[in-house]
Amino acid sequence: MQALLRLSQVIDDFMEKLGKFTYWLVPLVILVGVWNVGGRYIGRLVGRNLSSNLFIELQWYLFAIIFLLGSAYVLKHNGHVRVDVFYGNWPTRRKILVNLLGAIFFLIPFSILMIHFSWSAVIFSWQIQEQSPDPFGLPRYPLKTVIIFCFSLLIIQGISEIIKNVAMLTGHLHSADEPISDQAT
């Protein structure tokens, strides 16, 4: 179990670094958004549009990358949306079991399906070097690749979560909430 917990720690450390990198994309997407809006309005005053499709697409590409790369980081920090009406009042042991079963039966299979169904579209996009149809638009194939990368990261983080939840259920690791032994099932 200790070897698996070390693997989980390596995965968690990587996701933490990736999350910190993703943080730095947020100010960048804000700056691009401000440029797009400012360029449009200031451009009207000077009689020339100071923005372009490149910046508009860059803004939504960055947003998509933040959302996609951030998903595994959010999973690591247990920040995904839940039905807290039920989950919030459950004992720690039940929460751990639900997290474990959710990762095994929902997260990982869903992520595998997303990779499976995205794969051919991403490959085709690379084969044709897919570009935006808009003038001065960006290439689409790198962004489509992030979809596969994102769901691969979710699988990897899901494995880390499974390891940690099994370790908590077997008493090898304690929950951040409270000790397992104090909770009823």
Residue span of the structural domain in which 69 resides: 2-182
Mean pLDDT of 71-80: 91
The number of folded domains in the chain is 1
**What's the angle, vertex CA 75, arms to CA 69 and CA 79, rounded to 5?**
110
Contacts of 103 (CB under 8 A, 6+ apart): 158, 161, 162, 165
Overall size of the chain counted in residues: 185
Exposure of 179 in the CB half-sphere (CA atoms within 13 A): 2
Report pLDDT digits (tens) over 105-155: 999 999 999 999 999 999 999 999 999 999 888 999 999 999 999 999 999
Which of 3, 54, 12 has its CA nearest to residue 153?
Answer: 12
Residue 64 CA to residue 68 CA, distance in Å, equals: 6
pLDDT at residue 143, as a whole number: 94
Report pLDDT digits (tens) over 76-112: 998 887 767 778 888 999 999 999 999 999 999 999 9
